[in-house]
Amino acid sequence: MSPATLLALDWGTTNLRAHLLGPQGSVLQRRNAAGGVMAVSDGRFEAALRALCGDWIDQHAVPLIASGMIGSRQGWAEVPYLACPATPAAAAAALRPVPLAGGRVLHIVPGLIVTGPDGQADVMRGEETQLWGAGLADGACCVLPGTHSKWAWMAAGDAVQRFQTYLTGELYAVLVQHSILGRGMQPGTADAAAFADGARLGLAEHAHLSHLLFAARTAGLTGERGPAALPDFLSGLLIGAEVGSACARGAPDVVTLLGEAALMERYATALKLAGRQVLAAPAEATTRGQWRVALAAGLVAAQP
């Protein structure tokens, strides 16, 4: 096996994903646990880390780096947000060292903060590292779908120029589980046509979202759509409204998607309906980004 060079942790709200990296940041081994920040009680983060990869730590005398919510107020150590535009070099200079038992050190990557055109602050933790590993060009726009989806615009020098968060995934979940919209629904059946109908409406009518959502109720009441079609119709309304808003805020002709396959497909459908061309980010964007920050910080070395 190639020699290990870096132990890289993607430590989010729900999951802890660990990668043992080799030369040039290649992935040697990977492990996951449901050991996210919200699952760790009483600040026992070091125990959670050792439970998943204590053997790696003991066997490989390599630096450790972590990105994600582990650097939040609820995480291991709060790392102040870095202001945009933000480069891997700036993140490397702002790594937060956390001493481990035995004299080792974990380096936590800072999240980013930006002020939007609406004058409001926006933040991310973890996605910045994925963006730096996605090989995006100057001027590229990248979407990371999820509970809180992020749209980022890149600038020269791999800088994250600006970004904005949409609550879309969480809105979908709370509306299906806790609102009247969920009452008429029968989940479980994918309905691509219902999704596309919803997405077209969301794109056209994103300026009226609080009204438009009621269409997921009336379509059921009038019998226009069956209970099995309503979840995807609502998903389309919400994702369409997100894409419509982001297009109005300057999404370019080509947009890169980075994330989980099923969700990327939904966003690709909506983006194409909005006349955008869609690219997929390369795999391993997270470990590539972690490697880039570690390299900029001098924790690892590029091989000749």
Binding site for a copy of itself (CB under 8 A): 73, 113, 116, 118-123, 148, 164-168, 170-171, 174-175, 177-181, 201, 204-215, 218-219, 221-222, 224, 238, 241-242, 244-245, 248-249
Taking the complex as a whole, how short is the minimal distance between the CB of residue 72 and a copy of itself, in angstroms? Answer: 9
Please say which residue, 107 or 125, places its beta carbon nearer to a copy of itself: 125
- CA nearest 172: which of 187, 192, 150? 187
Residue 63 or 244: which CB sits closer to a copy of itself?
244
Q: How far is the CB of 37 from a copy of itself (least distance, A)?
A: 13
> At its nearest, how many Å lie between a copy of itself and the CB of residue 207?
4
User: Which is nearer to a copy of itself, 46 or 205 (by Cβ)?
Assistant: 205
Residue 26 or 165: the one with the smaller Cβ distance to a copy of itself is: 165
Residue 49 CB, nearest approach to a copy of itself (Å): 25
CB of 167 to a copy of itself, least distance (A): 5
In the complex with a copy of itself, the residue whose CB is nearer, 64 or 270, is: 270
Give the C-alpha separation, 82 to 251, whole Å. 23
Nearer to a copy of itself, 7 or 271 (CB): 271
Least Å distance, CB 257 to a copy of itself, is: 18
